[in-house]
Amino acid sequence: GISIVAADLMLAVWAGGTYQIAVPEWLDGAVTLPVITAVRSNGASVFLTYPFYRIAVLAAAIVIGIGLWLMLNKTRIGMMIRAGVDDRAMLSASGVNVHAVFAIVFAVGAGLAGFAGVVGGSALSVAPGEDIRYLLASLVVVIVGGMGSISGAAIGALLIGLAEQLGLVYFPTYGVVLTFIIMVVTLAIRPQGIMGKSR
């Protein structure tokens, strides 16, 4: 149908190649962190250098996460969103336009997804088929963290991200298995996720 035509059109325009979005010049370069990675034979310390762009991405993620948490827990629209998730019919009966509330939620989510795509395209590469990888990682993060919890999603993302990177360092062939082991253990011990509520 329409999705196949759209996919064919995108392949015709971008030719199915791999793309790298350039990092802005003001975010390019490395920063020396106060973390000692080695000591030379003459006694001089070697400090860790880390890309400034990745530090900026981490800071942006923390700010966005705190902003979302504050919006959901401290504002009127957040109260309506939480009420709509729990009992849509009751929220509608109290005179709130539920469709408008969920349209706002969709717009915020779509905007954040687009922002994440640009950020991810700069840190990694953009290629056909990459969407499946990120969707699968997102699913694992939500399962581990707990559905409907921003703090759970943050904890899940931290656990899965660290597990993925440690797996790539210590056993590259089976690194991705570590994330699924964490998911299985979480489902066995706490099926609703680390911060999820049992219903």
Q: List, for residues 28-52, the tens digit of each pLDDT value.
A: 888 888 888 888 888 888 888 888 8
- The overall longest dimension of the chain from CA atoms, in Å, is 75
Which of 6-10, 18-22, 82-86, 186-190 has the least mean pLDDT? Answer: 6-10
Domain range spanning residue 169? 129-199
d(CA 39, CA 50): 18
Residue 58: inside a domain: no
Q: Which residue would you say has higher pLDDT here, 159 or 17? A: 159
- The per-residue pLDDT for 28 is 80
Task: Give the number of domains in the chain.
Answer: 1
Cα(72)–Cα(85) distance, integer angstroms: 12
Helices and strands (DSSP H and E) totals, the chain = 8, 2
Contact 101, 109 (CB under 8 A): no
Is 163 in contact with 174 (CB distance < 8 Å)? no
**Is 151 within a domain?**
yes
Residue whose C-alpha is closest to residue 84's, from 68, 100, 64: 100
Q: Is 43 helix (H, G, I), strand (E, B) or coil?
A: coil
Residue type, 77: I
Task: Give a yes or no: residue 66 inside a domain.
Answer: no
Residue 107 pLDDT grade (very low, low, confident, very high; cuts 50, 70, 90):
very high
